[in-house]
Structure 1
């Protein structure tokens, strides 16, 4: 029985007997785009490529840039989706998404492991459509929204499956916009909305803090000193925030190096925590604690009311920070990177005037996912 199972495994994955070091050496000889495709082969390959011990051997410039909302300096009051590259032009793509069907309005709601989630509407349509697309391959799928009033998040892990999930969060009727009492789950594998779950105890989320998807679970920062964890069947559990002497003003969650990270922006310092074991309530490990003078230096310490952590690098021990420099009623937003290991803050680029959250980090996906799409 064991022999038959081993033979089947070898037929499925002939590299299964290769030691990790040899497999890493083979992958290191591939071009970067092929390395990205290798992350989709299996969880073992993904973990090897993402492991900190292999950073020096493998190309790791996975983060291409950020999508955000901006309406510039003109008289147009509407916000538009704008893409800002942080890696040069190594991965050119159509950031205007002109390959998609034409809609009167298109809003980018989320980004997860190379796929974008968009909400699209036409005049007189009963409900808007969701479009999930891969800008790197220009593949896309569309399906109708389940509810008219909702917030949506995308869940996708190409190392586990080529299929994705959309989480549609429904707020309490007539109540606070961000008190969520119900979740609908769309499965691309099933081709429809598979779950509609109403919770007895509503959760209060931070809409502009975004969320992140890891190991089949959507994590959302909550206003109740906790993180809400929602799986692909609509089950929700609450993870308390770690105890800190500096009460968090804006907690955020991100995935970096294969783990869930929490950033706490307090009144006087920034702390970063890692969730080591989500099955335990006391599982946060402190990774960084730095006051604002140490973080920004004297040149920026007086402007801290307008800063925020917007993302973490998926492959490096690094976070990205925006600082808004105000001039009258205008605000110029600058993007910085902060290396947690070297404690070095580096200017990346100007994001422009009138930039609005949420910031969506984009990591290109070159494999042909969305097999059933256009």
Structure 2
């Protein structure tokens, strides 16, 4: 005869039933990839609470394991403009999910007070911002911040920062919590006299300044690797410790974090407009280049830095891409990003600036949302050297609770 009491037996049966329910719950059947994608779409404070759910959830969210998880773009920062509003410019964040409210605060209200603030670049969950000082609107500081955790670091400006148009961010959380800021100083800002300026290359980059958060200082490197000029809104990509930017002479400029190694890589084919530069994006461990020749969209993969060899990964005619539903977008669209882990190309086009995703595997175009006419997509002239398009900054949540010298 069993010595256990009826109460003990009931407790044991209840424990078995609870364990069975947990084992067979829908959440327990989700793969780490799917669960990580779900967790990445909730606010940071809620994510911290999720660590208490189980050991598995805690490990997924922790910084060490975060590096092994697939990155997921949850949305884009961008600017809108309305000449009848004050202020005329406004900053927005649009979710890729169907959530109504933005996952992060586009005002970045946690940053120190400043006269005005501009986003200059985004990289693996961090933003590089330019903060014009309230005490002296002609001077500035750079700020590197994590919109997910609302942590930020001030970066001192150089003597040329207020005149520099192109500053970019390099950061890889899988390597280090430290980051680099790249400041491309053109010949006029550097102080070269007007009669000595290169008339064949407007805005030629003369010097590169690189800030290391680990060293806490700037270093300077004279550019001696060919003539190039970079549009103000040229999309940058930091990949394998190398910063890449498209320039105005049909090539990609690439430089490492020390400024010691440079590459000028010819683009695979010229875009439809000679002064319209395509975008370069990292995805699935490769470097991609997207451009249009007026009749089709082509996606290329870089095979070799030295030879500049590209391989065509995908192309699709505009008729197949937009079909009749979005046929008006053919001459008014822009590739703004490629998903870091999937074959998804993000596109904005049309009068109402429709955000869409195109799956290169299934060849399906998906409508996401309309950003509105205030989001200016039309090409605008960049002084005598080419055109620029308003940038979209992809946001990948970074749940690391540490940032070098953070506030």
CA shift for structure 1 position 125: 5.5
Q: Distance in 1 between matches of 2:226 and 2:393?
A: 29
Matched, 1:170 2:185: yes
For residue 306 of structure 1, report the CA deviation from its aligned partner. Answer: 1.1
Inter-partner Cα distance in structure 1 for 2:216 and 2:110:
22
Distance 1:190 1:338 in 2: 42
Q: Which of residues 155, 164, 167 in structure 2 aligns to 1:152?
A: 167
Q: Structure 1 residue 26: deviation in Å? A: 7.4
Q: How does 1:271-290 map to 2 (within 5 A)?
A: 271-282=298-309, 284-290=310-316
**Where does residue 362 of structure 1 map in the other structure?**
395
Aligned to 1:343: 363
Larger Rg, first or second structure (1 or 2): 2
TM-score (norm 2): 0.73
Alignment partner, residue 233 of structure 2: 208
Deviation at 1:86, TM superposition (A): 1.2
Gaps of 5+ in 1: 1-24, 51-59, 326-331
Task: Report the alpha carbon displacement of residue 182 of structure 1 after superposing the two structures with TM.
Answer: 1.7
8 Å CA contact 2:322–2:329 kept in 1: the answer is no
Residue-by-residue CA offset, 1:76-97 (whole Å, 9 max, x unaligned): 4732221111124598333321
TM-score by length of 1: 0.80
1:78-117 equivalences under 5 Å are 78-89=88-99, 92-117=103-128
Q: 1:169 to 1:35 in 2, by over 3 A?
A: farther
Q: Is 1:198 paired with 2:223?
A: yes
Tell me if the contact between 1:171 and 1:177 (Cα under 8 Å) persists in the aligned partners: no
**CA-based RMSD:** 2.8
Give the direction of change, closer, same or farther, for the CA distance of 1:308–1:245 in structure 2 (3 Å limit).
closer
Displacement after TM superposition at 1:303 (Å): 3.6
How far is 1:340 from its partner?
0.5
Q: Which residue of structure 2 lines up, in the alignment, with residue 228 of structure 1?
A: 253
How far did residue 243 of structure 1 move?
A: 4.4
SS in 2 for 1:189: coil
- Please name the residue that 1:32 is paired with: 39
Q: Structure 1 residues 134 and 112 mapped into 2: Cα distance closer, same or farther (>3 Å)?
A: same
User: Matches of 1:92 and 1:200 in 2, distance apart?
Assistant: 42
Is the 1:127–1:144 contact (alpha carbons within 8 Å) kept by the matching residues of 2? no
Unmatched tracts of structure 2, length 5 or more = 1-30, 41-57, 189-193, 377-389
| Corresponding position of 2:147 | 135
Alpha-carbon distance between aligned partners in 2 of 1:116 and 1:212, rounded to the nearest angstrom: 13
Number of aligned positions between the proteins? 330
Identify the residue that residue 305 of structure 1 maps to in structure 2. Answer: 331
- Contact 1:27 1:35 (8 Å CA) reproduced: no
Q: Which residue does 1:320 correspond to in 2?
A: 346
Q: Which 10-residue stretch deviates more, 94-103 or 203-212?
A: 203-212
Matched-pair contact (CA < 8 Å) for 1:250–1:265: no
Q: Give the SS at the match of 2:223.
A: strand
d(CA) in 2 for partners of 1:178, 1:72: 29
What's the secondary structure of 2:391's corresponding residue?
strand
CA distance in 1, matches of 2:85, 2:139: 29
Describe the shift of the 1:80–1:345 C-alpha distance in structure 2 as closer, same or farther (beyond 3 A): same
Residue 161 of structure 1, aligned match among 164, 171, 176: 176
Whole-Å separation in 2 of the counterparts to 1:245 and 1:120:
34
Task: Give yes or no for contact 1:65–1:362 (8 Å, CA) kept in 2.
Answer: yes
Question: Which residue of structure 2 lines up, in the alignment, with residue 266 of structure 1?
Answer: 293
**C-alpha deviation, 1:117, in angstroms:** 0.6
What's the secondary structure of 1:272's corresponding residue?
A: strand
Q: As a proportion of its length, which structure holds more strand? A: 1
Q: Secondary structure at the match of 1:254?
A: strand
Out of 340, 353, 358, the position equivalent to 2:373 is 353
Q: Take 1:27 and 1:80, find their aligned partners in 2: how far apart are those partners?
A: 35
Q: Is the 8 A contact 2:271 2:293 kept in 1?
A: no
Name the SS for the 1:152 alignment partner. strand
| Structure 1 position 333 matched with structure 2 position 333 | no
1:75 has 2:85 as partner: yes
